[in-house]
Structure 1
């Protein structure tokens, strides 16, 4: 396992790299970190792939833009630059925010991706209407509204040695002991500027007066013409698995859509059940070949 950097302009993104084969980019979510992909990276390498797991924009001091731009549009741009640095076409695996970035990137720039795996996030295109049919999700997503406030979210998350971060982990993946994974995430989120940057991702969602944010919203209406697999833990305490009943439509994924519910797993399914999830990921990677 190597520690490397990916670069977009003046931003330098720390990353983990391992393996020898077709390239796979793995994007983490909140409140997580790129280092927690290590176990999955090793399993992908054993299956013959090169895995690269970069920090998301803002999740290290070296990749915090002076402009404070933590929009999904900017995150998609980061991803495309990474893909070009790895040869132009890659497989993509995203968890949480990483999955959201993946849906948008694969919809807008399908030629850059061989396959896409979305973990813990159902298809976004039909999600707004699905919320009306799964009312418990409004309560589960209440933290997103709280994160729009100034100052208070940072204070709540930081209190008692990032106790708020720990509470989210335990609520979203109940009856599971996160151990070193949680400690890794807390260490990264405690670095200078990282926690405000991570919250900046949420705060940019409502900035629809910005042209780039409106463009990213428009990408949601596009079909995803990349072979896609959606994995969700059956005990996810962040995104209700019932959302799959109202967001899955094969017409939105003309290149193929595969859906798996992972038993005995919550929101951090790839950390809770790494062997089972890795098997599903590799099976989907094998459905699409990258010609690089």
Structure 2
């Protein structure tokens, strides 16, 4: 495994890379970091892929947005730039915010992606309506309203060596100890500017009047024309698995959709059940290769 750098314009994104072969791009979420894809990096490299896990926009000094743009459009543009840097035909894997960006990137530029695999976030197209039909999700998502406040969320999360980040991990993945993975996330988010950069993703969500928001919404409305695997933990304390009942429509994925609920896992399912996630991920990538060859 080696440290590399991906770029988009003047932004520099540190990344971990392992293996040789078809590229697989792994996108992390909040409050997490690119270092915690280690199980998947090793499994993908062992199966003959080149796996690359970059820091997302705002999570490292070199990729703090100088213009303050932490919109989903900007994140999608980052990922499409990464895909082009890796050869323009990559498998895309995303967790949490990385999953949201993955859905949008695959809808915007399906020619760049061989497959899409998402963790912990249902398909976006019908998610707003699904939330209205799953009342507990409004409570689970209350933290997003809190994150709209200036400065206060940073102060709350940063207290006592980022104990607030630990609280979120415990709530979202109950009955599981984050251990070194949590420590990795806390160390990354303690870097200058990183916590505000990460929270600014949430602060851009309600900016409905912007061109960036309108463009992201237009991508969300499109079908996703790459083979897609959706995985959710049955014990997820951030995104209710019941959302799948209302957010999943096969016709939104015209070239194939597989949905898996992972027993004994919460929000950080790739860390809680890495062997099961790796099995599903490798099978999905192999099936994509068969479909492409056919």
Interval containing the TM-score (normalised by the shorter chain): over 0.9
Q: How many angstroms does 1:132 deviate by?
A: 1.4
Please name the residue that 2:191 is paired with: 191
Partner residue, 2:267:
267
Deviation at 1:85, TM superposition (A): 0.7
Equivalence map 1:118-133=2 (5 Å): 118-133=118-133
Structure-2 separation of matches of 1:129 and 1:79: 27
Mean CA deviation greater in 180-189 or 42-51: 42-51
Query: Where does structure 2 lack aligned partners over 5 or more consecutive residues?
Result: none
CA–CA distance in structure 1, aligned partners of residues 208 and 27 of structure 2: 24
Match of 1:214 in 2: 214
CA distance in 2 between counterparts of 1:288 and 1:83 reads 17
Corresponding residue SS for 1:150:
coil
Distance in 1, Cα, partners of 2:146 & 2:181: 25
1:6-155 to 2 correspondences below 5 Å: 6-155=6-155
Unaligned runs of 5+ in 1: none
SS at match of 1:287: helix
* DSSP-derived class of the 2:123 partner: coil
What SS does structure 2 have at the residue aligned with 1:288?
helix
Instruction: Tell me the CA shift for residue 133 of structure 1.
Output: 1.1
Length-normalised TM-score, structure 2: 0.98
Structure-2 residue corresponding to 1:158 = 158
Deviations 1:142-197, CA, capped at 9 Å, x for gaps: 00010001111111101111011000000000000110000000000000000000
Shift of 1:12: 0.5
Taking the aligned partners of 2:116 and 2:27, their CA distance within structure 1 comes to 11
Task: Quote how far apart the aligned CAs of 1:7 are.
Answer: 1.0
In 2, the alpha carbon distance for the partners of 1:258 and 1:107 equals 17
Q: CA RMSD in A?
A: 0.9
Deviation of 1:212 after TM superposition, in Å, equals 1.5
The residue number in structure 1 matching 2:282 is: 282
Query: 1: distance between equivalents of 2:64 and 2:152?
Result: 21
| TM-score of the aligned structures, taking structure 1 as reference length | 0.98
